[in-house]
A and B are shown apart, each in its own frame.
Chain A
Amino acid sequence: EPEVTQTPSHQVTQMGQEVILRCVPISNHLYFYWYRQILGQKVEFLVSFYNNEISEKSEIFDDQFSVERPDGSNFTLKIRSTKLEDSAMYFCASSSNRDTLENTFGSGTRLTVV
């Protein structure tokens, strides 16, 4: 069964450093998303991406964050100048069809900012 692959599975970074979280969505999917889940809290939407541009972003997704699809397979989330409160699980998701939004999620990257 096709999977969304995320790397690394765990990233530890110093406060103020930049991190890039990587995702390989399902190959024939067209819509891409990042969500995050702080420990013990809800899964929260960050950003959606279609046709090489951001479709929608949440209030969380401020200037500290950016997304990119540098080639035909990868989808990255960059966090500049990380803060302690950025510590969370970050999930990439993709869907083939905007209308149904049946998302396939990756296993996540656990980001720990120290």
Chain B
Amino acid sequence: SQKIEQNSEALNIQEGKTATLTCNYTNYSPAYLQWYRQDPGRGPVFLLLIRENEKEKRKERLKVTFDTTLKQSLFHITASQPADSATYLCALDQAGNKLTFGGGTRVLVKP
């Protein structure tokens, strides 16, 4: 069966450190993988997209890697700040018409 797994345990991290989140998937062949941020009671906000033929993508303090052999993406927040506290969702796109989301990982950055 198809699965997208993110660490369901909250990630507590000290301000200034790097947060690393994992997204693993099985029985998918995504063309793209996307990362979104979701705050409580709000809709997801797009952060980064990485294509299947790309290994790494960066945007400001964010970095995403994509390993289609391991079927895994890593999401890094460097120099984390309390304002980075949120739930981070990975989403796979296979068919070009819809996103399939993981369950998200909550990040709490402590000052």
Contact = CB atoms under 8 A, between A and B. Distances in A.
Interface of A: 4, 31, 33, 35, 41-45, 48, 55-56, 58, 89, 91, 93, 98-108, 110
Interface in B36-53: 36, 38, 41-46, 49
Contact of A103 (B38, B42, B99, B100): B99
Nearest to A101: B93
Nearest to B95: A56
Task: Kindly name the residue among A43, A106, A110 whose own CB sees the greatest number of chain B CB atoms within 10 A.
Answer: A43
Contacts of B44: 43, 91, 103, 105
B103 A107 contact: no
A49 to B, nearest CB: 10
Given A91-B44, A102-B46, A107-B43, A42 B102 contact: yes
16 contacts: A4-B43, A33-B98, A41-B103, A42-B102, A42-B103, A43-B44, A43-B99, A48-B97, A56-B97, A56-B98, A100-B49, A105-B43, A105-B46, A107-B43, A108-B41, A110-B41
B98 A45 contact: yes
A21 B17 CA distance: 41
Given A42-B103, A43-B101, A99 B96 contact: yes
A110 B95 CA distance: 28
A93 B100 CA distance: 14
Contacts of A55: 97
A101 B34 contact: yes
Contact of B96 (A42, A93, A98): A98
B20 to A, nearest CB: 21
- Which A-B residue pairs are the 8 nearest by beta carbons? A105-B43, A56-B97, A45-B98, A43-B101, A48-B97, A91-B43, A55-B97, A101-B93
